[in-house]
Amino acid sequence: MSEILYVKAMESGERIDALLARYIEPLTRSQAQRLIERGAVTLGGEPVRKNRRSAAGEIYRVELPEPAEIPLTAQDIPLDVVYEDADVIVVNKPRGMVVHPAPGHPDGTLVNALIFHCGESLSGIGGERRPGIVHRIDKDTSGLIISAKNDFAHLALSAQLADHSLARVYECVVRGRMREDAGTVDAPVARHPADRKRMAVVPGGRRAVTHWEVLARYNGWTHLRCRLETGRTHQIRVHMAHIGHPLLGDGVYGRSPEKGLAGQCLHARELEFVHPRSGEPVRLVTELPEYFRDVLARLGPEE
């Protein structure tokens, strides 16, 4: 697996190991240095030294080792199943649960629980580590997530995700008192240019659109409903921070902890899709989880 690094004018003179660590996720600087020492980083086909200073316009090729396979095991983890049939399963994911195994989270994930619950009846389109997974939500985001039990359903649901007919509605609490009752954030999202672990509003990024409306106002906080027109990584979190109203508890794009909550106050409350086999519309709505209700109670009376 290889990556290409293009050096911009503003990056000229920086050490190549530092650039690699900044732009290639999830490399650390020491890992980048080891790759350089092994001859895995080349310029014009020739290996480079780890103390090399970059120059504008240079193009580096980086040969990355294949990630170690994480064996998937079935784990008897309780699931809050909201809807299930022979084609799809919709789960109300608790905050704190990771969706699929990854470095640092080899098990205890939604995928491990789904394998136990569904047996071998999960779509293989998501790959070995993500069987059945059609879309994802963050570890500290709670709420509805849909998975496919076969490839037919997975392809149909992925098409709905691509054409925005698979509707996802979230509720969140943001910092500050929103003046307008509703609005839209239409701002492109991509990897942060200086921090590859974060997303940001970046010119030339992928189009991202979030429609929001006020549900309640509190002293210094606003309870919102957000409907995704697109589904970029961290989209609601990035968009709300971009307009000056980061999510309560979001330590990446705002402040944490707040109101006793470490992790964003964000819940995927509604999900609507066309059933891949019957063609009938399916609309699912969950109650707000206990942590979310506790936050609202601590915010005080509505204004």
| Contacts with 282 (C-beta within 8 Å, 6 or more apart), sequence order | 83, 272, 273, 274, 275
CB 156 within 8 A of CB 175: no
Range of 112's domain? Answer: 69-163
Q: Which residue from 270, 174, 183, 256 is spatially nearest to 222, judged by alpha carbons?
A: 174
In this structure, are 28 and 130 located in the same domain?
Answer: no
Select from 107, 142, 163 the last residue of a domain. Answer: 163
Domain assignment present for residue 51? The answer is yes
Radius of gyration of the chain (CA): 22
Query: Coil, helix or strand for 235?
Result: helix
Quote the CA–CA distance of 2 and 66 in Å, as a whole number. Answer: 10
- Helix, strand, coil percent values for the chain (each to nearest 5): 20, 30, 50
Domain assignment present for residue 24? The answer is yes
Q: How many domains does the chain have?
A: 3
pLDDT confidence bin for 243, thresholds 50/70/90: very high
Query: Coil, helix or strand for 57?
Result: coil
In this structure, are 89 and 141 located in the same domain?
Answer: yes
Query: Coil, helix or strand for 18?
Result: helix
2: exposed, middle or buried (Cβ count in 10 Å: 0-12, 13-18, 19+): exposed
Give the DSSP per-residue string, 81-119. EEEE-SSEEEEEEPTT--SS-BTTB-SSSHHHHHHHHHT
Instruction: Give residue-wise pLDDT tens across range 132-171.
Output: 889 989 999 999 999 999 999 999 999 999 888 999 999 9
Q: Which of 98 and 67 is assigned the larger pLDDT?
A: 98
Domain assignment present for residue 287? The answer is no
In this structure, are 56 and 88 located in the same domain?
Answer: no
Domain assignment present for residue 93? The answer is yes
CATH number of residue 54's parent domain: 3.10.290.10
Tell the residue number behind the tokens 């983890």, with chain if given.
Answer: 77
State the amino acid at position 13 in one-letter form.
Answer: G
Query: What pLDDT was estimated at residue 225?
Result: 98
pLDDT value at 222 more than 90: yes
Phi, psi for residue 265 in degrees, rounded to 5: -90, 90
Select from 46, 63, 80 the last residue of a domain. Answer: 63
Domain assignment present for residue 299? The answer is no
What tokens does 259 get?
């109101």
CB 145 within 8 A of CB 91: yes
Query: Coil, helix or strand for 61?
Result: strand
In this structure, are 186 and 251 located in the same domain?
Answer: yes
Would you call 138 a catalytic residue per the annotation? Answer: yes
In this structure, are 114 and 170 located in the same domain?
Answer: no
In this structure, are 212 and 248 located in the same domain?
Answer: yes
Phi, psi for residue 94 in degrees, rounded to 5: -75, 155
In this structure, are 168 and 266 located in the same domain?
Answer: yes
The active-site residue, picked from 17, 87, 138, 140, is: 138
Instruction: Give residue-wise pLDDT tens across range 161-212.
Output: 988 899 999 999 999 999 999 999 999 998 787 776 788 998 878 899 999 9
In this structure, are 147 and 173 located in the same domain?
Answer: no
pLDDT value at 299 more than 70: yes
Q: How many other CB atoms are there within 10 angstroms of residue 121's CB atom?
A: 16
pLDDT confidence bin for 126, thresholds 50/70/90: low
Domain assignment present for residue 237? The answer is yes
What predicted TM-score, i.e. pTM, was given to this entire model?
A: 0.78
What tokens does 266 get?
């964000």
CATH number of residue 236's parent domain: 3.30.2350.10
In this structure, are 227 and 124 located in the same domain?
Answer: no
In this structure, are 78 and 34 located in the same domain?
Answer: no
In this structure, are 152 and 175 located in the same domain?
Answer: no
State the amino acid at position 149 in one-letter form.
Answer: K
In this structure, are 265 and 170 located in the same domain?
Answer: yes
Domain assignment present for residue 176? The answer is yes
Select from 105, 139, 163 the last residue of a domain. Answer: 163
Domain assignment present for residue 303? The answer is no
